[in-house]
Amino acid sequence: MEAAKIPASFEGAELDNFGVDHFSCSESQKAAHFMAKKFAEKSIAETASKGMMFTGQCGTGKTHLAIGILKKLIRTQRRRGLFYSSYHLLELIKSSFDREDLSEWEIMRPVLDRDILLLDDLGAGKITEFVQEKLAYILMERYNRKLTTLITTNYPVAPPRDASADNRVGGKTLGDCIGERSYSRLLEMCVVIPVNGPDFRDTVKRARSEML
């Protein structure tokens, strides 16, 4: 579990403590929780080259659910997992070019060969051609090696828009951020799970202030 590098702030996040009975929990959040539990019960063969992609607004519980799956699969199937914020991963790869103590290969090896990779907040940060190439490589390798990949993103899961489209209309899509190749690969690999509803951080804050 330690090798999975799950952030300390999610130490307590489990599928079992994702509250669905709370009055403000939406049908979408309940359904996402149900799907996450189902996925975490699948066998290694059933999750080969497969994964889940949670998409929705901030604070709806996407990372909590993905970490819940990761932890459960590590515990019950003894699979080797790894958490990475996708922004942090890509910055780390970039920084390795100027470092003598850390090579790109050292960073990439676990990303390419751990049984389960959770890439959190896909599309966050400045997306360059370099970033798109790295992502495409990671996803293709993991697919070919029959590994499991979990994704969370705030971006709407839609293809890249026509280059001539007006970028002010509708905002960016996931396809715009990660490029056509990765987008198409992800759709093949991952079941897309929308997680829409109230921001849990906001709900908790309001409940706390009501208690004071």
Ligand X SMILES: Nc1ncnc2c1ncn2[C@@H]1O[C@H](COP(=O)(O)OP(=O)(O)OP(=O)(O)O)[C@@H](O)[C@H]1O
User: For Mg ion, what does the binding mask look like between residues 151 and 190, x meaning CB under 5 A?
Assistant: ----------------------------------------
∠ CA(190), CA(191), CA(192), 5° rounding?
Answer: 105
Least distance between ligand X and beta carbon 142 (Å): 21
72 binds ligand X per the rule CB under 6 A: no
Q: Which two tokens stand for residue 2?
A: 């330690």
Name every residue whose Cβ is closer than 8 Å to that of residue 69 and which is 6 or more positions away in sequence.
Answer: 15, 36, 39, 40, 52, 150
User: For Mg ion, what does the binding mask look like between residues 60 and 99, x meaning CB under 5 A?
Assistant: ---x------------------------------------
Question: If you search the block for the tokens 């007006």, which residue do you land on?
Answer: 166
**Rounded CA gap, 120 and 125, in Å?**
12
Q: Which two tokens stand for residue 111?
A: 């990303």
- Between residues 120 and 176, which has the closer beta carbon with respect to Mg ion? 120
∠ CA(46), CA(26), CA(86), 5° rounding?
Answer: 55
Least distance between ligand X and beta carbon 204 (Å): 7
The contact set with ligand X (CB under 6 A) reads: 13, 18-19, 25, 58-64, 121, 152, 154, 200-201
Which residues of the shown chain bind Mg ion in the complex (CB under 5 A)? 63
